[in-house]
Amino acid sequence: MAASVDPERSEWDVIVVGGAAAGENAAQYAGQFSGLDTVLVEAALLGGECSYWACMPSKGLLRPVEIMNTARHLPGVASVVEGASIDVAAALARRDAIVNHLSDDSQISWALGAGIDVVRGYGRLTGERTVAVTGPDGAVRTLTARHAVVIDTGSSPLVPGLPGLREALPWTSRDVTNLHEVPRRVAVLGGGVVGCESATWLRGLGAAEVSVIHRDAALLTRQEPFAGEMVAAGLRESGVDLLLGRSVTAVRRQDARDTGVGHVHGGEVTLTLDDGSERTVDEIVVATGRAPNTADIGLSSVGLAESEGRYLDVDDQQTVRGVDGQWLYAIGDACGRALLTHMGKYQARVAGEVIAARALGRMPAGAPQGRFSAAEGHRALPQVTFTDPEIGSVGLTERDARQAGVDVETVEYDMAQLAGTYVQREDYTGRAKLVVDRGGDTLVGATFVGSGVADLVHSATVAVVGRVPLDLLWHAVPSYPTPSEVWLRLLETLDRQRRG
């Protein structure tokens, strides 16, 4: 859908370059809620990576896998699904519906309805508060912001420069989330979040051989160690081959072809591993991290040449450091504070409020606090990893807390011991851990592993952000029988530990 913007118009209060979910929030908070006029500049689809090629399609693909795994273990249902497999065509069709068939019509309608203009094209800074937009027809249009420019250009998959890897045209997160065929044999390179989640749905959707090749000795190394171990056990049980502590040294592919996103990109791929062994698969998925989309957005025109291709350094108002005048902001993956949609949107809300307050002379004196600072939210950093079992985590791991000099005390509990998890499935496996700051007797981190733990994350986020003393947390009574009973068990166990 074409955005209905006067083609002659060139000035807005706020220009947002990159129209992902975070950019939309920044425009909304600076514009719709505060009265500034805003424009989103989007090179591809309004809604960004999350809506079409990341969070939404991946969670859509994982859902039938999760339901099937639960059903296979639940008496009364197990016998019904015995020998059955997921209807892949229907699951892919639902994924296509979730990504709106790669159309952003509804997003454009939402933006225009919210009073946010949209200009389609690729934006580059050309100087203070100016952005040149190259439209789909190649024409360049220069836009000027009266108050602020927000960078929300996101990130792209990082494909390592291993011999033969790029030439093999491997799948990246865009292909594996938008797959149109399930490769029979597939190797996933990288054991981080994308690697573990995509191995889960590839195997669940019927790939006969799935291997994860990971250079570290454990999966998901940013989490508590038990979380990576439990996900590894779950993947192994489902038939995924984990090659931990192994690296790929070379890749060969006959007849590599660009057959389109989510289609197998040519003939067999042979991977050479660092122990000299070889492995032949039908497709390889590269899940080795992300690179910020900041290499070609005109940063040198505003004195930030050294930031090209790097994460933009921002303060807690999301203002880019190193630029005078407080007019340049960065949010989402481009600023590298947390590569998560909800955190990008949080940064966007803060940036939007700050931009409006600065523009309208409403910024309170003194150090910015409250809704004008993104410091508090970054202490918590909630995340759900949608594997089987799931991981829900908030704040610091024990290792990170010790490194940060916190006087650490920890407590763990087996989630399978709860009535609330037993009713979910008899063979429930899970574990929870709290990281406590002994000084303030408050929570600085929490990790839950198990089926259905995603919904526990927000309670931990509230406890960390609110610095709720454990004595007060005691009075937050969990409903019975639900997995949230783990809170009570953790506090009781901590009590026993303290009494020796």
Angle, helix 193-204 to helix 55-72, in steps of 10 degrees: 50
Partner whose footprint covers residue 20, from ligand NAD, ligand FAD, none (CB < 5 to 8 Å by kind) = ligand FAD
Q: CB under 6 A: which stretch of 19-27, 142-150, 188-196, 314-322 binds ligand NAD?
A: 188-196
Task: Report which of 149, 146, 150, 152 is spatially closest to residue 12, judged by C-alpha positions.
Answer: 146
Partner whose footprint covers residue 123, from ligand FAD, ligand NAD, none (CB < 5 to 8 Å by kind) = ligand FAD
Do residues 420 and 485 lie in contact, with contact meaning Cβ atoms separated by under 8 Å?
A: yes
Least gap, CB of 87 to ligand NAD (angstroms): 25
Do residues 34 and 356 lie in contact, with contact meaning Cβ atoms separated by under 8 Å?
A: yes
Least gap, CB of 382 to ligand FAD (angstroms): 9
Task: Report which of 295, 294, 7 is spatially closest to residue 141, judged by C-alpha positions.
Answer: 7
Question: Closest residue to ligand NAD, Cβ-based?
Answer: 192
Q: Does 389 bind ligand NAD (CB under 6 A)?
A: no
Cα–Cα distances in Å, from 277 out to 246, 248, 271, 440?
10, 10, 8, 53
Q: CB under 6 A: which stretch of 212-220, 337-345, 414-422, 475-483 binds ligand FAD?
A: 337-345
Least gap, CB of 440 to ligand NAD (angstroms): 28
Residues 1, 5, 43, 291: which binds ligand FAD (CB under 6 A)?
43
Do residues 430 and 448 lie in contact, with contact meaning Cβ atoms separated by under 8 Å?
A: yes
Q: Does 197 bind ligand NAD (CB under 6 A)?
A: yes
Between vectors from CA 488 to CA 418 and to CA 425, what angle results, nearest 5°? 15
Partner whose footprint covers residue 195, from ligand NAD, ligand FAD, none (CB < 5 to 8 Å by kind) = ligand NAD
Least gap, CB of 159 to ligand FAD (angstroms): 13
Q: Does 102 bind ligand FAD (CB under 6 A)?
A: no
- Cα–Cα dist 190/290, whole Å: 12
Partner whose footprint covers residue 154, from ligand NAD, ligand FAD, none (CB < 5 to 8 Å by kind) = ligand FAD
Residues 124, 203, 279, 290: which binds ligand NAD (CB under 6 A)?
290
- Cα–Cα dist 343/339, whole Å: 7
333 or 437: whose CB is closer to ligand FAD?
333
Task: Compute how many other C-beta atoms are within 10 angstroms of the C-beta atom of residue 106.
Answer: 12
Least gap, CB of 46 to ligand NAD (angstroms): 21
Sort strands 11-17 and 38-42 into parallel, antiparallel or unpaired.
Answer: parallel
Peptide bond into 7 cis (omega under 30): no
74 or 114: whose CB is closer to ligand FAD?
114
145 or 199: whose CB is closer to ligand NAD?
199
Q: Which helix (H) or strand (E) is 152 found in, with range?
A: none
Question: Closest residue to ligand FAD, Cβ-based?
Answer: 154
Q: CB under 6 A: which stretch of 67-75, 109-117, 185-193, 314-322 binds ligand NAD?
A: 185-193
Site pattern 146..165 for ligand FAD (x: CB under 6 A): ------xxxx----------
Q: Does 194 bind ligand FAD (CB under 6 A)?
A: yes
Q: Does 215 bind ligand NAD (CB under 6 A)?
A: yes
Q: CB under 6 A: which stretch of 268-276, 281-289, 348-356, 445-453 binds ligand NAD?
A: 281-289
Q: Does 385 bind ligand NAD (CB under 6 A)?
A: yes
Q: Does 389 bind ligand FAD (CB under 6 A)?
A: no
Q: Please, which residues have CB within 8 angstroms of residue 123's CB and are 6 or more apart in sequence?
A: 15, 17, 18, 41, 43, 131, 132, 133, 143, 297
Q: Does 285 bind ligand FAD (CB under 6 A)?
A: no
- Cα–Cα dist 359/301, whole Å: 23
Least gap, CB of 52 to ligand NAD (angstroms): 14
Q: Terminus-to-terminus CA distance in the chain, angstroms?
A: 66
For residue 193, report the phi and psi dihedrals to the nearest 5 degrees: -65, -45
Ranges of beta strands (E only) in 112-195 are: 116-120, 122-127, 130-134, 140-151, 155-157, 185-189
Task: Report which of 104, 114, 46, 3 is spatially closest to residue 352, judged by C-alpha positions.
Answer: 114
Q: Does 179 bind ligand FAD (CB under 6 A)?
A: no
Between vectors from CA 34 to CA 28 and to CA 39, what angle results, nearest 5°? 45
DSSP secondary structure string for all residues of 337-393? S---HHHHHHHHHHHHHHHHHHHTT-PPSSS--GGG--HHHHHH--EEE-SSSEEEE
- Cα–Cα dist 298/301, whole Å: 6
Site pattern 242..281 for ligand FAD (x: CB under 6 A): ----------------------------------------
Which stretches of the chain bind ligand NAD, using CB under 6 A? 160, 189-195, 197, 215-216, 221, 247, 287-290, 339-340, 383-386
Which stretches of the chain bind ligand FAD, using CB under 6 A? 17-22, 41-44, 48-50, 54-55, 58-59, 122-123, 152-155, 173, 177, 194, 293, 297, 332-334, 339-342, 344
